[in-house]
């Protein structure tokens, strides 16, 4: 059985043989949140700066789990087919980015933000503009459904802007384009058919006081914590302080806060979820937060 590096090299060799001569195929390493290094297979038209990137680690996992009947050759076939299906989208994106990326006025309505863990992402933050928020940091992306681009310091210098200006623009964009989404976890499970009547009657399995806060995309939705007055609004609506569980970079869970005894239970649950359910780059924090309604502030617990 091939190891990851051997798989990546074989993947590169076989995909290169299958694509057109004007398509460049190469392996690349990207630094992601929590300083996670991700190995990617990049395919792009010759001379272009962007293209389609596939996560080699995920492809390798599929290979190990035999999700493709033909093994490596089946994965190669799927990647080449995906390139053909996404080629028009990729070309449109490349053209748009090539035309716009250095023109701040043309791209600023596509600047979004994402909350990540500051301590875990210290190397990434050396090269990216960011704004601290408690023990977290807001970083910035150029958003596009076909693929988002992390904004680095070099681009900020070209734009002649600042992290604080990016923050104001990104937050305004997300509030308007991706408004906050708040819902009961129990109601969500009921609506999607994953919560049965039997489970509803088992209190240890269903926490009826648990809510989710995210954005309309449900992508990088933990950033909804930064939306103006969002925590105050729901604290007043439900007449409570909120214990906030950072379940991932994509959403946070909220529960009405009653006593300090909940904090250690929440910390234990966060640790379990981070270790067993999330990709390393999706982990937001290892401890809960508390929103105090009387002080209108969020604090680390």
pLDDT at 21: 82
- Which of 24-33, 88-97, 162-171 shows the lowest per-residue confidence on average (mean pLDDT)? 88-97
Report H helices in 46-152.
56-64, 72-100, 104-107
Enumerate the β-bridge partners of residue 45. 23
Longest CA pairwise span in the chain (Å): 65
The span from the CA of 131 to the CA of 289, in Å, is: 19
pLDDT in tens, 213-268: 999 999 999 999 999 999 999 999 999 999 999 999 999 999 999 988 899 999 99
Q: Which residue has the higher pLDDT, 126 or 62?
A: 126
pLDDT tens-digit profile of 52-70?
788 889 888 888 887 554 6
The number of beta carbons lying within 10 Å of the beta carbon of residue 74 is 15
Residues 298 and 134 sit within 8 Å (Cβ to Cβ): yes
Is this structure's pTM higher than 0.85?
no
Q: Taking 90 as the threshold, does the pLDDT of residue 154 lie above it? A: yes
């Amino acid at each position: 059985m091939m190891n990851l590096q051997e798989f990546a090299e074989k993947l590169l060799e076989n995909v290169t043989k299958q694509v057109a001569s004007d398509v460049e195929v190469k392996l690349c390493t990207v630094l992601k949140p929590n300083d996670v290094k991700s190995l990617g297979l990049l395919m792009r038209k010759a001379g272009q700066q962007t293209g389609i990137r596939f996560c080699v680690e995920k492809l390798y996992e599929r290979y190990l789990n035999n999700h493709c009947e033909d093994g490596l050759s089946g994965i190669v076939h799927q990647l080449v087919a995906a390139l053909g299906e996404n080629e028009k989208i990729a070309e449109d994106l490349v053209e748009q980015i090539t035309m716009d990326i250095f023109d701040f006025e043309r791209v600023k309505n596509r600047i979004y933000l994402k909350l990540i863990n500051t301590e875990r992402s210290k190397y990434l933050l050396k090269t990216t503009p960011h704004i601290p928020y408690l023990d977290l940091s807001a970083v910035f992306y150029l958003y596009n459904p076909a693929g988002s681009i992390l904004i680095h310091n070099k681009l900020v210098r070209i734009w002649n802007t600042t992290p604080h200006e990016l923050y104001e623009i990104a937050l305004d964009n997300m509030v308007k384009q991706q408004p906050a989404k708040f819902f009961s976890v129990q109601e969500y499970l009921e609506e999607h058919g994953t919560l049965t009547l039997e489970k509803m009657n088992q209190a240890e399995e269903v926490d009826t006081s648990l809510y989710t806060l995210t954005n309309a995309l449900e992508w990088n939705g933990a950033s909804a914590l930064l939306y103006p007055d969002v925590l105050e609004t729901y604290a007043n609506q439900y007449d409570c302080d909120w214990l906030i569980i950072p379940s991932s970079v994509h959403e946070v869970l909220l529960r009405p806060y009653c006593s300090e005894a909940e904090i250690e239970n929440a910390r234990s649950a966060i640790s379990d979820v981070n270790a067993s359910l999330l990709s390393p780059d999706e982990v937001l924090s290892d401890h809960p937060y508390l929103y105090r309604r009387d002080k209108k502030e969020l604090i680390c617990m």
